[in-house]
Amino acid sequence: MQEDTQLNGFEVVYKKPVTLTDTPFHYCPGCGHSVVHRVLMEVIDEMGIQDKTIGVAPVGCSVFAYSYMNIDMQEAAHGRASAVATGIKRIHPDKFVFSYQGDGDLAAIGTAETIHTVNRGENILMIFINNAIYGMTGGQMAPTTLLNQVTSTSPYGRNCETMGYPLKITDMLVQLPGAYYVTRQSVHNVNAVRKLKKAVEKSFEYQKSNPGTCFIEVVSNCPSGWKMTPVESNKWLEENMFPVYPIGDLKVPSGK
């Protein structure tokens, strides 16, 4: 390799970030988690903050994130990642701190921690993976499960009369004064991945000035939980998830 630009006569257009370990991902084929991991580590790598970043991952599909991310990581109890991240940031205010949580974790058992973390305006980045299902534990209905969506605990589809409506927690959090930057992104195609990367970059840049909480929801797929192929799941995502959870910024700093 010459200056990392040539490899066996071919131009190098992508390299694995040094912040990703060589441990094979355990995620199901087509799952969005692995793409989000890569994007997050790319940003940390490119910003040169590997030794200044601390991540927190709780129970769920992301529970083994510390095996893949070559940075300081802390595991948290189910739903408590934002509380743990708060403690870390207060002890180490000079570090870049983020939590990485799924919908069953952040929007169910961790709802209270989530709301109060953002309401206090804790200077952390919260990454929220919304695939509308409990992916790790058997495909049960999650707070974000769509109306009429079939899961292992809603075999006839989610019924609003007995099961309530999908919880749009990001739309709730945007109302809190402690929320500084709130956006909803995806990784279903190349353009979406680029936009997510920009959102992560902005969030870490904002964290330098202690403005409040940055919150990124990633509307993602769950091929195994949805009982679909990866291609089918991405199509279903666009046709069914985006109308309920539309992609785009919900709250951005004024003048930025």
Give the model confidence (pLDDT) of 134-177 as tens digits. Answer: 988 888 999 999 999 999 999 999 999 999 999 999 999 999 99
Tokens describing residue 32 = 């969005």
- For residue 201, report the phi and psi dihedrals to the nearest 5 degrees: -60, -45
What pLDDT, in 10s, does the model give residues 3-28? 456 667 788 888 899 999 999 999 99
Q: Is 1 within a domain?
A: no
Among residues 16, 51, 49, 52, the alpha carbon closest in space to that of 34 is found at 16
Confidence at residue 138, expressed as pLDDT on a 0 to 100 scale: 83
Confidence band (pLDDT; 50, 70, 90) for 2? Answer: very low
Confidence at residue 255, expressed as pLDDT on a 0 to 100 scale: 67
Residue type, 28: C
Residue type, 7: L
Confidence at residue 5, expressed as pLDDT on a 0 to 100 scale: 60
Query: Rounded to an integer, what distance in angstroms lies between the CA atom of residue 186 and that of residue 217?
Result: 8
Confidence at residue 4, expressed as pLDDT on a 0 to 100 scale: 58
User: Which domain does 210 fall in, by range?
Assistant: 6-251
Confidence at residue 7, expressed as pLDDT on a 0 to 100 scale: 66
Q: Is 73 within a domain?
A: yes
Q: What percent of the chain has pLDDT over 70?
A: 96
Confidence at residue 96, expressed as pLDDT on a 0 to 100 scale: 98
Q: Is 256 within a domain?
A: no
Tell me the CATH number at 197. 3.40.50.970
How many domains does one find in the chain? Answer: 1
Q: How far is CA 138 from CA 30, 57, 106, 143, 166, in A?
A: 17, 20, 18, 15, 19
What pLDDT, in 10s, does the model give residues 96-146? 999 999 999 999 999 999 999 999 999 999 999 999 999 888 889 999 999
pTM of the model: 0.94
Confidence at residue 6, expressed as pLDDT on a 0 to 100 scale: 62
Query: Rounded to an integer, what distance in angstroms lies between the CA atom of residue 84 and that of residue 77?
Result: 9
- 221, 234 Cβ separation under 8 angstroms: yes
Which residues sit opposite 129 in a β-bridge? 102, 218
Q: Is 107 within a domain?
A: yes
3-state DSSP assignment of residue 212: coil
- 224, 28 Cβ separation under 8 angstroms: yes
76 burial level (CB within 10 Å; 0-12, 13-18, 19+): buried
